[in-house]
Amino acid sequence: MKRADWLAAVLYFLIALPALQAARAGEAAAEKPLPATTEAALLMKDIVPEAPVYIRVFKEESELEVWKARPNGRYALIKTFPICNWGGTLGPKRTQGDSMSPEGFYGVTPGAMKPDSKYHLAFNIGYPNALDRALGRTGAYIMVHGDCRSVGCFAMSDKLIEEIYAFVRDALAAGEPSVPVHVFPFRMTDANIKRHADNPARDTWGPLKQAYDDFGETREPPKIGMCGKRYVVNSLTPVGMDPNAACPALIGKRLAPLSPRLSRRLAQNDPSLEARGKKMKTAQESSSIYGFFTSLSWGSTTATISAENRPARQSSDASLGAVQPLLGP
As a whole number of angstroms, the distance between CA 214 and CA 222 comes to 7
Domain ranges in the chain?
36-187, 221-317
Please check the confidence at residue 208 and state whether its pLDDT lies above 80.
yes
User: pLDDT tens, 226-257?
Assistant: 999 999 999 999 999 999 999 999 899 888 65
* DSSP letter, residue 73: S
247 an active-site residue? no
Strands (E), the chain: 53-58, 63-69, 75-82, 104-108, 113-114, 122-124, 143-145, 154-155, 179-184, 224-227, 230-233, 254-257, 278-280
Reduce the DSSP state of residue 115 to 3 states and report it. Answer: coil
Neighbours of 11 (CB within 10 A): 10
**What is the rounded average pLDDT of the residues 76-87?**
96
Instruction: Kindly list the distances between the CA atom of residue 112 and the CA atoms of 34, 143, 145, 151, 264, in Å, as whole numbers in the listed order.
Output: 20, 9, 12, 19, 43
Radius of gyration of the chain (CA): 23
Reduce the DSSP state of residue 134 to 3 states and report it. Answer: helix
Among residues 84, 120, 153, 247, the one annotated as catalytic is 153
Amino acid at 97: G
182 an active-site residue? no
Pick from 149-153, 267-271, 272-276: least confident = 272-276
Among residues 120, 145, 182, 227, the one annotated as catalytic is 145
Beta-bridge partners for 108: 179
Neighbours of 304 (CB within 10 A): 15
Reduce the DSSP state of residue 185 to 3 states and report it. Answer: coil
Burial class (CB in 10 A: 0-12, 13-18, 19+), 128: buried
Q: Name the pLDDT band for 151 (thresholds 50, 70, 90).
A: confident
CATH number assigned to the domain with residue range 36-187, chosen from the 4 options 2.40.160.50, 2.40.440.10, 1.10.3720.10, 3.40.50.1980? 2.40.440.10
User: pLDDT tens, 3-25?
Assistant: 555 445 434 434 544 554 444 45
Instruction: Kindly list the distances between the CA atom of residue 193 and the CA atoms of 105, 317, 326, in Å, as whole numbers in the listed order.
Output: 19, 12, 28
